[in-house]
Amino acid sequence: MGLFEGKKGLILGVANDNSIAWAIAKEIMDQGGVCGFTHLPDRPDDERKRNHRRVAQVIKDNNAAKFLIPLDVQNDENIAEVMQTTGEHFGKIDFLLHSIAFADREDLNKDTIRTSREGFKLAMDISAYSLLAVANAADSILADGASIATMTYFGGEKAVPGYNVMGICKAALDAAMRYLAYDLGPRGIRVNALSAGPIRTLAGRAAGVDEMLKMYEHMAPLCRNVTHEEVGKAGAYLLSDMSNGITGEILHVDGGYNMMGSPGRLLDQLK
């Protein structure tokens, strides 16, 4: 019997087959779970519906993927519609994955001090507030004992040059995760965050992942980068009953990079 046998849930944030959200969802479905998926809304003038087609292509061969609908996390009515549809398909859900973040590239590429007011509000709304908005809308369909997981990054805990305004958003997301863990704790609902090391994804490319991959390989105690599969298994763990005693935590899947207090073996390269 799989770890998610009889479990149902909602996956927010798959963009393509390199998405961390897909790695997690695939592990869940391989372990017997069933999932509903959302995608970024397509522009009205996009006759090809690129966002829908991209995610549909990823999930099309998996019978455990039950539906795919658009989600605009800046639109409360749309969030409510998504939760209503999820409830119609599944009744109560056992897990919810939030893997959503965005900052305007123009702001992301600036020093943090130069971040525009509008860019800051946009990034914070989509990357941090959306977790609160989604959890609030899902409250009535979350089963007692359900699990929520969100995707964060080490740049919300420490200053990571180049991560800039997104680091501030991740710090806010981490705090939101902890307060949600407190709010939902009486129902046995757990809320945690997964902090992956650099991985080649759409979001990762925007944050300069290639340079980070080289640095992590030299600094991490495991002397390598992590894989999509490893992050997928860790995310599934947080959403499963195997982590029932854990809430309000950040689980780092980065080969141990986050615990280093010095450049470690990278110093050998500087001699």
Domain-embedded: residue 137: yes
pLDDT band at 228 (very low <50, low <70, confident <90, very high): very high
CA distance 268 to 134: 46
CA distance 50 to 34: 24
pLDDT exceeds cutoff 80 at 95: yes
Ramachandran angles phi, psi of 55, nearest 5°: -75, -35
Share of the chain above pLDDT 70, in %: 96
Domain-embedded: residue 139: yes
Domain-embedded: residue 27: yes
Domain-embedded: residue 117: yes
Domain-embedded: residue 198: yes
Q: Which residues are known to be catalytic?
A: 153, 163
CA distance 149 to 128: 13
CA distance 151 to 126: 13
Q: What pLDDT was estimated at residue 207?
A: 54
- Domain range for residue 123? 8-257
Domain-embedded: residue 265: no
Over range 36-60, report the average pLDDT.
92
- CATH classification of the domain holding 76: 3.40.50.720
pTM beyond cutoff 0.85: yes
Domain-embedded: residue 218: yes
The number of folded domains in the chain is 1
pLDDT exceeds cutoff 70 at 19: yes
**149-162 tens-digit pLDDT:** 999 999 999 999 99
- Name residues whose C-beta falls within 8 Å of residue 202's C-beta, 6 or more positions apart in sequence: 15, 16, 18, 19
**Which sign does the torsion angle of CA 247, 248, 253, 258 carry?**
negative
- Low-confidence winner among 43-52, 66-75, 241-250 (lowest mean pLDDT): 43-52
Q: Is 241 helix (H, G, I), strand (E, B) or coil?
A: helix
**109-168 tens-digit pLDDT:** 999 999 999 999 999 999 999 999 999 999 999 999 999 999 999 999 999 999 999 999
The answer to whether 219 touches 213, Cβ cutoff 8 Å, is no
Per-chain mean pLDDT for the chain: 94
Strands of the sheet containing 250-253, edge to edge, are 65-70, 34-39, 8-12, 93-98, 142-152, 190-196, 250-253
Domain-embedded: residue 46: yes
